[in-house]
Amino acid sequence: MTSAMLTSPAVTVRAPAKVNLELRVGPLRADGFHALATVYQAVSLFDEVTVRASEEWTIAITGTCALGVPADHTNLAVRAAQALAAAHGIDEPVEILIEKDIPVAGGMAGGSSDAAATLVACDWLWGLGSSREELAQIGAELGSDIPFLVHGGTAIGLGRGEVVTPVLTRGTFHWVFAAADVGLSTPAVYAEFDRLTADRDVPEPTASTGLMAALRSGDAHALAGHLGNDLQQAAISLRPELGDLLADGLSYGALGGLVSGSGPTVAFLAADHEGAIDLAVALTASGTVTHAQRATGPVHGASLRGVPRVD
Ligand code: C5P
């Protein structure tokens, strides 16, 4: 390692998880993706991504959810950093460290969020000054959820999910996430959706106006009535126990619940902070789940943590 690298700044970015408040899935497109109309919300479960200059491209994963995450150049975070470098003609490898606390293959876009955070971190490290929109465009080539995780907040996602527009919301919503021990593959869940809908025409997807009104009002009870996920039936078909988990959460006082994205994490909406604590305790004390994590939304997209340090 050169002395310049020893003194190079380490940039740390917080990468939030997401939940899809509504996920409407349309027909399979010619490019292998489905047309979507989805409403994303970034929530306060975070991975942390740290980058610093290095002699070669490397990645290491730590944290409670590190198991099974590829620590090699196939990792979306490395591919995102290399795509940003290529777009700017940069030849400066980085070391990427990811502290992973977002469930893997859980339907919460942890891998996409790490990629979004890596774009923000490398942009700072290389002094590029890109806009969020420019980073989102690079991210869109690598994954449909990445543009949203660059922006964060609450947003509607069209196209295959990558065309994002912010949505007005009021207040804070309180969530409890019940993650499964074993993840579900996103392509497998979409393939199951295709199988379950093979005998009918799938219409072009639209997000509901009722959901937008509930978000504007900040009323969790109203929001609960508009949560919906067209992939839920497919996820339950592959993991029937998710149906029981949803029913249990509602019986323990959740205002609403749905499979998050392609699952298998189940997201429950609580009335308030205390309601979320009660629900998380009930879910774990009853043995329904081993872990129930509370989080609030909306939160910012991938964000720098404080002033980058030199060590
Ligand atoms: O874009 P992303 O990498 O997240 O997509 C992973 C897989 O999920 C795709 O290869 C595709 O099988 C499925 N997918 C889809 N339609 C979307 C988004 C994802 O069919 N809109």
Cα(28) to centroid(ligand 1), Å: 10
pLDDT band at 3 (very low <50, low <70, confident <90, very high): very low
Atom of ligand 1 nearest to the CA of 186: 8
Q: What digits encode the pLDDT tens for the residues 29-46?
A: 999 999 999 999 999 999
Answer for the pair 298, 42: CB distance below 8 angstroms, yes or no.
Answer: yes
- Kindly name the residue from 101, 145, 230, 248 that is annotated as catalytic: 145
pLDDT at residue number 25: 98
Nearest CA to ligand 1 atom 2: 143
**Residue 7 pLDDT class (50, 70, 90 cuts):** low
Q: List the residue whose alpha carbon is closest to atom 13 of ligand 1.
A: 187
Calculate the CA 82 to chain-centre distance.
Answer: 21
For 119-178, what is each residue's pLDDT tens digit? 999 999 999 999 999 999 999 999 999 999 999 999 999 999 999 999 999 999 999 999
**Over 90: is that where the pLDDT of 311 sits?**
no
* The one catalytic residue among 18, 100, 123, 248: 18
Q: Mean pLDDT for the chain? A: 95
**Cβ-count burial 30-51 (b if 16+ within 10 Å, e if not):** eeeebbbbbbbbbbbbbbbbbb
Give the position, in ligand 1's atom list, of the atom nearest the Cα of 160.
21
Q: How far is CA 14 from CA 43, 70, 220, 229, 299, in A?
A: 12, 20, 26, 27, 11
How far is the centre of ligand 1, averaged over its atoms, from the C-alpha of 24 (Å)? 14
The dihedrals phi and psi of 210, each to the nearest 5 degrees, come to: -60, -40
What single-letter amino acid sits at 182?
A: V
Q: Are 178 and 249 in contact (CB under 8 A)?
A: yes
Residue 13 CB burial class (10 angstroms; 0-12, 13-18, ≥19):
buried
3-state secondary structure of 4: helix
Band of pLDDT at residue 309, cut at 50, 70 and 90: low
Neighbours of 214 (CB within 10 A): 23
**Which tens digit of pLDDT belongs to each residue from 223-247?**
999 999 999 999 999 999 999 999 9
Quick: pLDDT tens for 287-300. Answer: 889 889 999 999 99
Task: Using DSSP, state whether 89 is helix, strand or coil.
Answer: coil
Active site residue 18: yes
Q: Residues of the chain with pLDDT > 90: what percent?
A: 91
Q: Which residues contact 197 (CB under 8 A, 6 or more apart)?
A: none
**Tell me, what amino acid is at 186?**
T
Which pLDDT band, with edges at 50, 70 and 90, does 8 fall under? confident
Q: Which residues of 223-253 are buried (b: 16+ CB within 10 A; e: fewer)?
A: bbebbbbbbbebbbebbeebbebbebbeebe
Q: CA dihedral defined by 90, 91, 92, 95, rounded to 10 degrees?
A: 110
- Find the 160 Cα to ligand 1 centroid distance in Å: 8
Helix axes 273-285, 241-251, angle to 10 degrees: 130
Q: How far is Cα 149 from Cα 42, in angstroms, rounded to an integer?
A: 7
Asked if 49 contacts 67 with a C-beta cutoff of 8 angstroms, the reply is no
Looking only at Cα atoms, what is the longest distance across the chain?
64
Distance 107 CA to ligand 1 centre (A): 12
Helix axes 110-125, 132-140, angle to 10 degrees: 130
- Residue 107 corresponds to which tokens in the numbers above? 């339907």
| Displacement of CA 291 from its chain's centroid (Å) | 18
Alpha helices, DSSP H, located in 30-128: 76-87, 110-125
Atom of ligand 1 nearest to the CA of 28: 20
Mutate to test the pocket of ligand 1, among 24, 185, 186 (most ligand atoms within 8 A of CB): 186
Distance, in Å, from the CA atom of 247 to the CA atom of 91, rounded to the nearest integer, reads 52
pLDDT attached to residue 275: 98
Alpha helices in the chain (DSSP H): 3-6, 76-87, 110-125, 132-140, 146-151, 186-196, 209-217, 220-224, 232-238, 241-251, 273-285
Residue 105 pLDDT: 87
| Arithmetic mean of pLDDT, 256-277 | 97
pLDDT band (50, 70, 90) for residue 307: low
What are the pocket residues of ligand 1 if the criterion is a CB atom closer than 6 Å to any ligand atom?
Answer: 32-34, 36, 143-145, 160-161, 186-187, 190
Tell me what pLDDT residue 6 has. 54
Per-residue pLDDT, averaged over 82-94, amounts to 98
- C-alpha distance from residue 193 to each of 186, 236, 274, 303 (Å): 11, 11, 36, 34
- Distance from the alpha carbon of residue 262 to the mean position of ligand 1, in angstroms: 10
